[in-house]
């Protein structure tokens, strides 16, 4: 029995989840928030926001060399987005599963993209791909004072 390994499996992560402009325009804000709430993660930050070109470019800087990068920046800045910070054990990996594959036609039914979208260029939601990027993206999209530390009443009913 190796308690230090158990402790690392219990690592609390943060994921930056964002309803993209198409998800907002199509009326999926409530449904998307609900899926993360129902799973049992903790919401730490939430806002409707019009993203600048500069912020979109910084957020997606790892994709700068891709041919679709200019279209991606236009897409993300084309209307308001809903920015969320979610916290929990394994939240980054779990959120990626809830969201589904980048190409919505490849995403499994039951996932957000699998149920609600048909094209990679209109895939309605973003989720961080690593705990490190979760922290980086939350710091990028939220100002100090926009994140709330609180203790959900359901906590003892979610984890033993
Ligand atoms: P994600 O982590 O599943 O969101 O996917 P990536 O990190 O690979 O790409 C980021 C985002 O860029 C995707 O969610 C899409 O919105 C967009 N994207 C990725 N690949 C393509 C593509 O081939 N064409 C277009 N138009 N957009 C793309
Ligand atoms: Mg990604």
CB distance 129 to ligand 1 below 6 Å: yes
So what's the pLDDT on residue 90? Answer: 96
Q: Mean pLDDT across the stretch 78-93?
A: 98
Q: What is 88-148 written as a DSSP string?
A: EETHHHHHHHHH--SSTTTSPBTBHHHHH--BTTB--EEE-SSHHHHHHHHHHH--TTSS-
pLDDT in tens, 109-124: 999 999 999 999 999 9
pLDDT at 84 over 90: yes
Active-site choice (107, 126, 127, 142): 126
ipTM summary value = 0.99
* Residue 143, phi then psi, degrees to nearest 5: -90, 160
Active site residue 126: yes
Residue for token digits 């709330």? 148
pLDDT at 8 over 90: no
pLDDT in tens, 92-113: 999 999 999 999 999 999 999 9
Distance, C-alpha 156 to centroid of its chain: 24
Calculate the average pLDDT of the chain: 95
So what's the pLDDT on residue 24? Answer: 99
Mutate to test the pocket of ligand 1, among 123, 125, 126, 133 (most ligand atoms within 8 A of CB): 123
Q: What percent of the chain has pLDDT over 70?
A: 94
CB distance 53 to ligand 1 below 6 Å: no
So what's the pLDDT on residue 148? Answer: 98
- Residue 72 CA to ligand 1 center (angstroms) comes to 8
Range 30-38 contact pairs with CB under 8 angstroms and sequence separation of 24 or more: 31/116, 32/82, 32/112, 32/124, 32/125, 33/82, 33/84, 35/98, 35/112, 36/84, 36/86, 36/95, 36/98
pLDDT at 34 over 60: yes
Token pair in block for residue 55: 């912020």
Q: Mean pLDDT across the stretch 34-42?
A: 98
């Amino acid at each position: 029995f190796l308690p230090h390994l158990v402790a690392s499996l219990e690592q609390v992560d943060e994921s930056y989840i964002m309803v993209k402009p198409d998800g907002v325009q199509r009326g999926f804000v409530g449904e998307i928030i609900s899926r993360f709430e129902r799973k049992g993660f903790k919401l730490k930050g939430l806002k409707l926001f019009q993203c600048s070109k500069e912020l979109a470019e910084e957020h997606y800087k790892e994709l700068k060399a891709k041919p679709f990068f200019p279209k991606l920046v236009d897409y993300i800045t084309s209307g308001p987005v809903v920015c969320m910070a979610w916290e929990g054990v394994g939240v980054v990996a779990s959120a990626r599963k809830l969201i589904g594959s980048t190409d919505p036609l490849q995403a499994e039914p039951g996932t957000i993209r699998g149920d609600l979208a048909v094209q990679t260029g209109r895939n309605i939601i973003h989720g961080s791909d690593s705990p490190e990027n979760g922290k980086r993206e939350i710091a990028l999209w939220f100002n100090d004072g926009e994140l709330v530390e609180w203790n959900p009443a359901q906590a003892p009913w979610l984890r033993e």
